[in-house]
Structure 1
Amino acid sequence: MIVPNMSQNAVAVADHYDELDPIYRRVWGEHVHHGLWVTGRETPAEAVEALVDMVGDRLRLTPGEPCVDIGCGYGSTARQLAATRRVRVTGLTLSAEQAHYAAAHPQPDVDIHLGDWLVNGLTDGSAHAAWAIESSEHMVDKPRFFAEAHRVLSPGGRFVVCAWLAGTDAGGWKVRHLLEPICREGRLPSMGTREEYEAMAMAAGFEIDGYEDVSRRVARTWSICARRLVKALLTDRETRRLALGARNRVFVLSIPRLILAYRTGAMRYGIFTLSKAGENGAPADPGKFTQQEPS
């Protein structure tokens, strides 16, 4: 597990997203997560929605199901899946700015709350499916992150986690100059490997139904963000003010680090498909997603 040399907590994570809210929405968009290029011809907006569609497919969502979006950001993923899969979604975000934005963009069957997943207060077995798209990285207690998901899911429930991961063999300069600074600058309390995530998921009681490394298909997100940021710095006074004077302005340095981290294999992007055993401990579903090679 990569741990930054400056301790991070939920308050720091919330402050990061609240202060940089204008930059995030301008540079990264309302979804605040990577895009997935399947054909390579998608626009950035289409690629972002493609990642959400992949999550919906992995979860095998059916109309009317109660779902949880863990670390929901502005609620865009919740709104997309509620509209396209006709599910009911409860989302949680640490950021007051993100919760405020979500409240200003209401949608039927989507309920966004300001709150910490590690103390979420949701009822045992109240959700049939859950997802965490690039939010587990911000969890101070990752074993508890998985344990809470297992508790909140009903028997047979499904869970998909899209995560920034440290390369299994990353060490030396890759940790010192890429991964540790990325954690520190991005307010990540830690960054785990695929093996560490799977161990924590199984310890919480989940079955590992599948894993896919899509690093090559998401990496261009950061070159797009870099170009957007440069344009914003040149044309937008608020972006310049935050980039020069914000407490969390150091995150700007992480964009070139992220580009290099993907190119060197120091960082990977993995999608885990997990399930909770059904009644009487029976497997959740006989259909399994096969593990795939890095792409």
Structure 2
Amino acid sequence: MIVASIPSNAASVARHYDELDPAYRRIWGEHVHHGYWREGHESPEEASVALVELVEQRLALKPGQRVCDIGCGYGATAAELLKRHDVAIVGFTLSARQQRIGQARAPGFACLRRDWLDNGLATASFERAYAIESSEHMVDKALFFAEARRILRDDGRLVVCAWLEGEHVRPWAVRHLLEPICREGRLPSMGSREDYVRLARDAGFVLTHYQDISRQVQRTWTICLVRLVKALIRDPAIRRLAFGRGVESRDFLFSLPRLILAFRTGAMRYGVFQWDAVSPPASNAATDR
């Protein structure tokens, strides 16, 4: 587990997304996650939706189910799912700006501004849950999984897309790539595939599918870097974010080359996990609400 040298918490994550809201939306779009190039010729927008479709396939949604979006961003993923499925989705974000957009996103979607680690949901009240690139922001990853297991029914399913530490990462890559990525991206820690499997198992999940799609998503950051450079030239709002002294989160804008190199060297991986809740929640999980 890679741990950031400067601690991060829910407040700093919220500030990160609120401050960088214009950059996220103008440079990449309202899907605050990687694109997934299945064929290789998709546009960035099509690739963003393709990742949602991959998660959708793993969720295997059924009519009438209650679904939890852990780290819903602007609610764009939930809106895509609601186009094709008769389900109800409750999403969680820490960002006030994301919630304002998410609240008006689609019928059947409730966007809450609340910390997942203190979510207030009833036990066994959902059939499905997913987290697309949000588990990285959790201060306590064991509690992240424990809460997901607690709110799911015994036949429930959890799908997680995660930034992961690669295998056999060299010390220089930790020092110059992964730890700075955690620090600049407000990630308290970055786990490996093995870390996630162990934490989920301890919470009462059984891994039923895993897919490494690092090669299919890494193009995201090259596109973002090119768009950022153009935006710095053309867009005064982005220049203010990048060079304004009062913007605490601006360091992440300059972390894009690290992300490109981390993927290309294998220091960082991107995994899609599917877990089924087929055993009782772990005894040390959060108490019923």
TM superposition score category, shorter chain reference:
over 0.9
Question: Is the 2:212–2:270 contact (alpha carbons within 8 Å) kept by the matching residues of 1?
Answer: yes
Counterpart residue number, 1:250: 251
Q: Distance in 1 between matches of 2:125 and 2:230?
A: 45
Q: Distance in 2 between matches of 1:85 and 1:170?
A: 41
Deviation at 1:171, TM superposition (A): 2.7
Q: Distance in 2 between matches of 1:63 and 1:35?
A: 27
What are the superposed Cα offsets for residues 165-221 of structure 1, whole Å, 9 maximum, x if unpaired? 000211311000000000000000000000000000000000010111000000000
- TM-score, reference length from structure 1: 0.93
SS of residue in 2 equivalent to 1:231: helix
Question: Is the 2:221–2:260 contact (alpha carbons within 8 Å) kept by the matching residues of 1?
Answer: yes
Counterpart residue number, 1:198: 197
* Amino acid across the alignment from 1:220: R
Deviation at 1:58, TM superposition (A): 0.4
Question: Is the 2:213–2:271 contact (alpha carbons within 8 Å) kept by the matching residues of 1?
Answer: yes
* Amino acid across the alignment from 1:144: L
Q: Distance in 2 between matches of 1:25 and 1:181?
A: 23
* Amino acid across the alignment from 1:15: R
Q: Distance in 2 between matches of 1:126 and 1:230?
A: 45
Counterpart residue number, 1:81: 81
Q: Distance in 2 between matches of 1:30 and 1:118?
A: 24
What are the superposed Cα offsets for residues 68-117 of structure 1, whole Å, 9 maximum, x if unpaired? 000000010011111122321000001111001212x3311111010000
SS of residue in 1 equivalent to 2:92: strand
> Is structure 2 residue 116 aligned with structure 1 residue 97?
no
Question: Is the 2:75–2:105 contact (alpha carbons within 8 Å) kept by the matching residues of 1?
Answer: no
* Amino acid across the alignment from 2:28: W
Counterpart residue number, 1:129: 128
Q: Distance in 1 between matches of 2:170 and 2:69?
A: 33
- What is the alpha-carbon root mean square deviation over aligned residues? 1.0
> Is structure 2 residue 33 aligned with structure 1 residue 33?
yes
Deviation at 1:278, TM superposition (A): 6.9
Matches within 5 A, 1:140-219: 140-219=139-218
Counterpart residue number, 1:283: none
SS of residue in 1 equivalent to 2:189: coil
Deviation at 1:27, TM superposition (A): 1.2
Q: Distance in 2 between matches of 1:68 and 1:121?
A: 13
SS of residue in 2 equivalent to 1:203: helix
**Unaligned stretches of 5+ in structure 1?**
280-295
What are the superposed Cα offsets for residues 2-34 of structure 1, whole Å, 9 maximum, x if unpaired? 001111111110011011111111112101100
Question: Is the 2:204–2:279 contact (alpha carbons within 8 Å) kept by the matching residues of 1?
Answer: no
Q: Distance in 2 between matches of 1:38 and 1:234?
A: 32
Counterpart residue number, 1:264: 265
Matches within 5 A, 1:2-81: 2-81=2-81
* Amino acid across the alignment from 1:138: H
* Amino acid across the alignment from 1:102: G
Counterpart residue number, 2:287: none
Q: Distance in 1 between matches of 2:243 and 2:85?
A: 42
Q: Distance in 1 between matches of 2:124 and 2:27?
A: 37
Q: Distance in 1 between matches of 2:221 and 2:213?
A: 14
Q: Distance in 1 between matches of 2:279 and 2:60?
A: 16
SS of residue in 1 equivalent to 2:168: coil
SS of residue in 2 equivalent to 1:248: helix
Q: Distance in 2 between matches of 1:49 and 1:86?
A: 19
* Amino acid across the alignment from 2:112: H
Identity of aligned residues (%): 57
- Runs of 4+ in structure 1 off by over 2 angstroms are none
**Unaligned stretches of 5+ in structure 2?**
281-289
Deviation at 1:155, TM superposition (A): 1.3
- TM-score, reference length from structure 2: 0.94
